[in-house]
Structure 1
Amino acid sequence: MAGIKEIRTKIKSVQNTRKITKAMEMVAASKMRKAQERMRAGRPYATKVYEMASHMMEANPEYTHPFLIERTGLKAVGIVVVSTDKGLCGGLNTNIMRLVLNRMREFNDKNIKTQFTALGNKGLGVLTRIDANVVSQEIGLGDKPELDRLVGAIKVQLDDYLAGRVDAVYIATNRFINTMKQEATFTRLLPLPGKLVDPYQASSADNEEKESVTAEHGWDYLYEPDAQTVIDELLQRYVEGLVYQCVAENMASEQSARMVAMKAASDNAKKVIGDLQLVYNKTRQAAITKEISEIVGGAAAV
């Protein structure tokens, strides 16, 4: 059995660790609320851009943007991987990277080349270790997503898609469900569906209602400089808005997962401290009993 001094040292060490995890839990809880507010604040923007793009596509059926053209016989795809910059957030990054690697394996089995854009340090680290083709990256995003920093990395994939070097672009991220649940998702970013689908509607019934409303109206716009230029710019903003929202959702998921993970660590540390205290008391009691026995034995010998 370990000595009293060693057990006391272990108890002190675990207590210090618990102080750290408790502080990190409180910090993550504070950041989580702000991240969720930013995530929810970004959804109306994405919804409004969706509405404008849908109306303009209805008003100009003769023009089809390259983002809307389906391509057959995929030869190469681009994958945008959204991860965190820091760890200690449970299995958040593990789940998303496992999903990405499974999809990558499926593409390789079909002789489809893959190229990656890494948004976040953890995802970049995994992609670098497996020697994946990383064409762009952006790390150190902080606690608040900035569209200006994301556009440069995403533009590489968009330009490759327009140039025909990739036939589809996918994005892998964690979608925020609630504080206790975050879902790893792998969705197609490009080409966009023929009828743009708003990913932030509450249910399919809402989508059907919105489509019926759109069909009942005839949209007529005056364009400056022309319809094609406006639609091109609007769809570009639409795709960028989707990526921004994915990053915001991932950041909200990160803080929620970190808060839950640190709470679990604090609870486990408390349990370990209790177990060590019990061992410490038993060891101390055994030592005292031994000393008393030695004193009594010595006195009897005299």
Structure 2
Amino acid sequence: MASITEIRSRMRSVEQTLKITNAMYLISSAKVKKARKQLSEVEPYFDRLAKTILDIFRHSPDLQHRYIEGHEKPKEERKTGFVVITGDKGLAGAYNHNVLKLAESYLARKKDPTLFLIGQMGRHYFEKKNISIDGEFMYTAQDPTLERAREIVDTLVGLFEQGALDDIYLVFTHTYSAMRMEPEIIKLLPLDRAMLSARRGLSEADQYRDVVRYEPSKEAVLDVLVPGVLKGYMFAALVESFCSEQNARMTAMDTASDSAKEMLSSLSLEFNRARQGAITQEITEIAGGAAALTQS
């Protein structure tokens, strides 16, 4: 059995760990609320952009535009890019592992894909796998902002318009609830009409019923609106991933706190037994000494 001093030292160590896990839980909880608030404030604006684009699609089903789904090149000649969002830190359960595995599976299906990373955990993972990283958007995973989303989208749209990329996908983690977070992949460019409607949760009833005239042309309007909608996609994905990471960390810290409390309970019992044993031993030694003095 460990000595009383060793047990007391272990108990202090576990108590310090418990304080850390509780603090990390509270910090993650506050971060989730703040990020959700940011997203809720801008969602109506991006929903309106999406409705406008869907209205153009509804009235112009044969409209041709460089941002709209098309297959000018054969499938085997198309250049594909992937943007993968992970966290900058660990201690978040299987959050990073799940999204990285999904991204890796899609990368394996494409010939010479272009890889863009958001988050340090993704960089460490793909470097170990000797997978080429073509670009990184630093200092974004822990601070999702509209400005960072705009910078990322501007870079991707520029590569798309230059012909450096023909298809661009976004891999991130979607938060369905505090206990359910799943990695997803969506296509950013070229824009898919069905995906746009499904992604924004819009139905036919949500679209404009009146005939709207777009000036100077529908194509010119799409030139402006599509990058705006993509910015909304990107910001939403950044926030969803950030919230997923924080929720996963909250779950991990809650589990760690429960384990620490159980360990403290076990150590406390062990400490009491050791102390009781020490007291019993002292009493026995005193009794033995007294008996020896009496006999002498």
**Shorter-chain-normalised TM-score: which range?**
0.7 to 0.9
Cα deviation for residue 159 of structure 1 reads 3.0
1:93 aligns with 2:93: no
Q: Name the aligned partner's letter for residue 243 of structure 1.
A: M
Alignment-mate amino acid for residue 150 of structure 2: V
> Could you tell me how far 1:143 is from its partner in structure 2?
5.0
- SS, match of residue 139 in structure 2: coil
CA deviation after TM superposition for structure 1 residue 165, in Å: 3.2
Query: Do structure 1's residue 209 and structure 2's residue 205 form an aligned pair?
Result: yes
Please state if 1:3 is matched with 2:3. yes
1:81-230 to 2 correspondence within 5 Å? 81-107=84-110, 112-141=111-140, 144-195=143-194, 196-201=196-201, 207-210=203-206, 214=208, 217-223=210-216, 226-230=217-221
Residue in structure 2 matched with residue 73 of structure 1 by the alignment? 75
Tell me if structure 1 keeps the 8 A contact 2:98–2:183: yes
Question: 1:189-215 CA deviation, whole Å, 9 max, x = no partner?
Answer: 2222145424131xxxx62434xx55x
Q: Is the 8 A contact 1:175 1:253 kept in 2?
A: yes
AA partner of residue 97 (structure 1): L
1:43 aligned residue: 43
Cα deviation, residue 177, structure 1: 1.0
SS at match of 1:256: helix
Aligned to 1:284: 275
Q: Does 1:239 align with 2:239?
A: no
Q: CA deviation at 1:297?
A: 3.1
Mapped contact 2:153–2:230 kept (Cα < 8 A): no
Report the CA distance shift for 1:153/1:200 in structure 2 as closer, same or farther (over 3 A).
Answer: closer
Q: Relative to 1, partners in 2 of residues 1:148 and 1:35: Cα closer, same or farther, differing over 3 Å?
A: closer
Match in the other structure for 2:12 = 12
* Number of residues of Structure 1 aligned to a counterpart in Structure 2: 289
Q: CA deviation at 1:37?
A: 1.6
Q: Distance in 2 between matches of 1:248 and 1:151?
A: 14
Q: 2:200, 2:274 → 1: CA distance?
A: 60
| Partner residue in 2 for 1:257 | 248
- Unaligned stretches of 5+ in structure 2? none
Measured against aligned partners, the alpha-carbon deviations of 1:86-107 in whole angstroms (never above 9, x if no partner) come to 3322221121112112222333
Matched to 2:83, the amino acid is V
Does 1:267 find its partner at 2:269?
no
Q: Secondary structure of the residue that 1:183 maps to in structure 2?
A: strand
Give 2:26's aligned residue: 26
SS in structure 2 of the partner of residue 96 of structure 1: helix
Distance apart, 1:60 and its partner CA: 4.9
The one-letter amino acid paired with 1:73 is: K
| Partner SS, residue 89 of structure 1 | coil
Instruction: Provide the TM-score with structure 2 as the length reference.
Output: 0.87
- Kept in 1, the 8 Å contact 2:83–2:117? The answer is yes
Shift of 1:239: 1.4
Distance in structure 1 (CA, Å) of the matches to 2:183 and 2:41: 21
TM-aligned CA deviation for residue 300 of structure 1: 3.5
Contact 2:32-2:243 at 8 Å conserved across structures: yes
Q: Which amino acid aligns with 1:171?
A: L
**Alpha carbons of structure 1 residues 163 and 169: separation in structure 2 relative to 1, 3 Å:** same
Distance 2:85 2:112 in 1: 20
CA RMSD of aligned residues (A): 2.4
Asked if the contact 2:141–2:242 (Cα under 8 Å) also holds between the matched residues in 1, the reply is no
Relative to 1, partners in 2 of residues 1:64 and 1:80: Cα closer, same or farther, differing over 3 Å? same
- In structure 2, relative to structure 1, the CA distance for the partners of 1:194 and 1:32 (3 Å cut) is closer
Q: Deviations over 1:43-69 (max 9, x none)?
A: 222211101122234455564222213
Q: TM-score, normalised by structure 1?
A: 0.85
Which residue identity does 1:220 align to in structure 2? Answer: R
Q: Secondary structure at the match of 1:233?
A: helix
Secondary structure of 1:86's aligned partner: coil
